[in-house]
Amino acid sequence: MTAVIEALARAVNEGQGSEQLDAMLAAWRLVPDPRLAAVIAALSRQLAGAPIDKRKAWLAALAAGRPESVHGLVDGFLRAPWSSFETLEMLLRRAPDPRLAAAADALVARFTGQHRLIASLVAPHRLPEAALPAEAEPLLARLVAIVEEGQRREEGLRDDVLADPHDDATRAVYADFLLERGDPRGELIALQLATEPATEARRKQLEEQLFGRCLGRLAGAVTGGRLDRGFVAEARLSYDERAIAARIGAPDWVTVRSLYASSAVSPELLARLLEPPVMHDLEELHHVDAAALVACRAPLAALHTMTLVAGTDADTHALGDRDAFHALARLRTSYALAQALAHSPLARRLLHLDVGCPLEGQLQACMVMHADGYAPACELRASNGRATVTVRRRVLHTHRLEVAALAQLLDALPADTYREVHIAEVLGREDHARLGLAAGRHGGLRLDVWPPEP
């Protein structure tokens, strides 16, 4: 029993983290006390974070062999479409672990016809229960207290960050706590706070490895994105409406600055998600339906960039007329939606407009609409995948636009619409002549064609 006492004493003295978990597992393998297994599970849940359900990340975590990754590996395996008997066998080849024993039935249920083989793999994790010796009881009690106190402190420091997400000092304190317990998320926060160029590769590696762990209460509602100083700054919504609905108003949304909706999320649900105060500092919103923004009662005063992908004429007109989104400066949308927004108060406030036009004729119509229905200072970028038109400060740049279309456009526009026209296209002598004739109707318009006339 000396060995188990030594292992428990090491766990008490290691500080809360990976090494402590290793020491507790060593003690459990000597004496499989279910109370010790419960403490192991509690600490593991604190350190594990979200399920690891991407195959590459799952295999990397398995190969790394860190004890705190077991819950993430199990949860990821159970939800991932790529899970197989081969990956199950890899997972169960680990040293005896009470967490794998607890998950054995769920793991085995994923497969049929191989119960005997799977049972042989699970057996090493189902050690016969035993009680710790009396002299180990004080050490077990101390471990329980350490784990519970660590959880309270971690939650308190995390809540301090969420209470003031712009304060780097609170994040630094949180990072120090995590580093003390051997949690790599502490290193990630410290590196992202320092932003040293020499550590960029390590930052990217940690962000990829730890993204799931950093989701916190957003797990299930968010499937991808980007971390900033250890918390979610860019979030891509999942297709699970039930999970999203369950996390409306969660404090963890307060660090999100850029949100990407998914096609499976209804406008009504997205509107409900955007309304709580934790979302009011949102700066970018992408892949959104106009109906969601019309239904949303929050002003979203910090929102400056939006990608609008759908909306009826009625919803789009209502969006343009709403007395909200006053910081919105950049909009990416379709030609039809841009046309519906033209002349609205929102259109008059925009500084950047990016429009996708399926047909080349729409490129011409888009420029006319832009000149007439949007603020004079609003920059336009319109593209149909082949030709591109950019307007900045009354200077028109075209790339691969049909010469005839551009000549017709110059004929159609008022004389003071543009000061200069720059054309990046291979043109013949007749094309130059036709453009020059069209430009001549605009008085002092400067026409810059590349390559120049031969």
Which pLDDT does position 441 carry in this prediction? 61
Q: Does the pLDDT of residue 99 top 50, yes or no?
A: yes
Which pLDDT does position 308 carry in this prediction? 96
The amino acid sitting at 229 is: R
Residues 38-63: pLDDT tens digits? 999 888 887 766 677 788 888 988 89
Estimate to the nearest angstrom the gap between the alpha carbon of 95 and the chain centroid: 34
Q: Does the pLDDT of residue 443 top 60, yes or no?
A: no
Does residue 140 come out as left (phi exceeding 0), alpha (psi in the -120 to 50 range) or beta?
alpha
Are the CB atoms for 402 and 371 separated by under 8 Å? no
81: buried, middle or exposed (CB in 10 Å: 19+, 13-18, 0-12)?
Answer: exposed
Q: Does the pLDDT of residue 430 top 60, yes or no?
A: no
| Higher pLDDT, residue 279 or 403 | 279
Mean pLDDT computed over every residue of the chain: 86
Residues 225-260: pLDDT tens digits? 999 999 999 999 999 999 999 999 999 999 999 999
**pLDDT, mean of residues 264-285:** 94
Which pLDDT does position 34 carry in this prediction? 93
Which pLDDT does position 362 carry in this prediction? 85
Structural tokens at position 37:
């297994």
CA distance 258 to 285: 6
Are the CB atoms for 336 and 306 separated by under 8 Å? no
Q: Does the pLDDT of residue 270 top 90, yes or no?
A: yes
Q: Does the pLDDT of residue 386 top 90, yes or no?
A: no
The amino acid sitting at 241 is: E
**Percent over 90 (pLDDT), the chain:** 45
**pLDDT, mean of residues 164-174:** 96
Element (H, E) at 319: helix 313-321
Rounded to the nearest 5°, which phi and psi values hold at 401? -85, 140
Estimate to the nearest angstrom the gap between the alpha carbon of 299 and the chain centroid: 23
Supply the DSSP string of 395-437, one letter for each residue.
EEEEES--HHHHHHHHHHS-TTS-SEEEEES---HHHHHHHHH
Q: Which residue has the tokens 């720059």?
A: 422
CA distance 171 to 161: 6
**pLDDT, mean of residues 76-89:** 86
Closest of 329, 443, 348, 347 to residue 421, by C-alpha: 443
CA distance 182 to 161: 20
CA distance 141 to 129: 19
Q: Does the pLDDT of residue 426 top 50, yes or no?
A: no
Q: Does the pLDDT of residue 444 top 60, yes or no?
A: no
Which pLDDT does position 398 carry in this prediction? 79
Q: Does the pLDDT of residue 333 top 80, yes or no?
A: yes
**pLDDT, mean of residues 346-371:** 88
Structural tokens at position 219:
């797990």
Which pLDDT does position 368 carry in this prediction? 83
Q: Decide: helix, strand or coil at residue 359.
A: coil
| Higher pLDDT, residue 195 or 150 | 150
Which pLDDT does position 432 carry in this prediction? 63
CA distance 156 to 277: 20
